[in-house]
């Protein structure tokens, strides 16, 4: 991909504005969630499957290394997170789990609150 493609730059910034977990945090969450345990000391050799693994890998990439598939995934994740935040259900654990499974912890202090989401509505 082009190093300074303005479209990619915008998608990258949008994605990283809604995803507030690191690749490692997301991986640990996915392994904990998959195991059904409250706490799990993650093993880097243990696989995380499919699309969620692609998000983990994407979070560990540099902007200059993204592919067209990564750009599409960033768009999809950004749209999903914004849609979920548009109808916040903080008391619903399934809602939080859906968001966390794509890298956004709505209970994190840096998560936008419903009255602060104007920035998420781009």
- Mean pLDDT taken over the chain: 81
Residue 120, helix vs strand vs coil? helix
DSSP H or E segment with residue 75: helix 68-86
Residue 110 pLDDT greater than 80, yes or no: no
pLDDT > 70 in the chain, percent: 75
d(CA 27, CA 103): 9
Tell me the average pLDDT across 3-32.
91
Q: What is the pLDDT of residues 22-75, one digit of tens each?
A: 999 999 998 885 544 433 344 445 445 678 899 999 999 999 999 999 999 999
| Model confidence band, residue 2 (pLDDT cutoffs 50, 70, 90) | very low
Residue in the block written with tokens 């859906």: 98
Rounded Cα–Cα distance for residues 25 and 66 (Å) = 20
Question: Residues of the chain with pLDDT > 90: what percent?
Answer: 54
Q: Residue 27, exposed/middle/buried by CB under 10 A (0-12, 13-18, 19+)?
A: buried
Worst-scoring range by mean pLDDT, 14-23, 74-83, 100-109, 111-120? 111-120
The more confidently predicted of residues 46 and 95 is: 95
- Choose between 119 and 103: higher pLDDT: 103
Residue boundaries of the structural domains of the chain:
6-121
């Amino acid at each position: 991909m082009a190093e300074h493609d303005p479209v990619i730059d915008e998608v990258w910034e949008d994605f990283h504005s809604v995803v507030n977990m690191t690749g490692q945090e997301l991986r640990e969450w996915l392994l904990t969630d998959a195991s059904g345990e409250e706490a799990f000391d993650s093993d880097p050799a243990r696989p995380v499957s499919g699309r969620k693994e692609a998000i983990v890998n994407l979070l560990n990439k540099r902007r200059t290394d993204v592919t067209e598939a990564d750009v599409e995934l960033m768009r999809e994740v950004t749209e999903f997170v914004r849609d979920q935040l548009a109808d916040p259900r903080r008391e619903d654990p399934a809602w939080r789990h859906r968001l966390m499974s794509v890298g956004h912890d709505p209970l994190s202090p840096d998560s936008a609150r419903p009255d602060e989401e104007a920035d998420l509505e781009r």
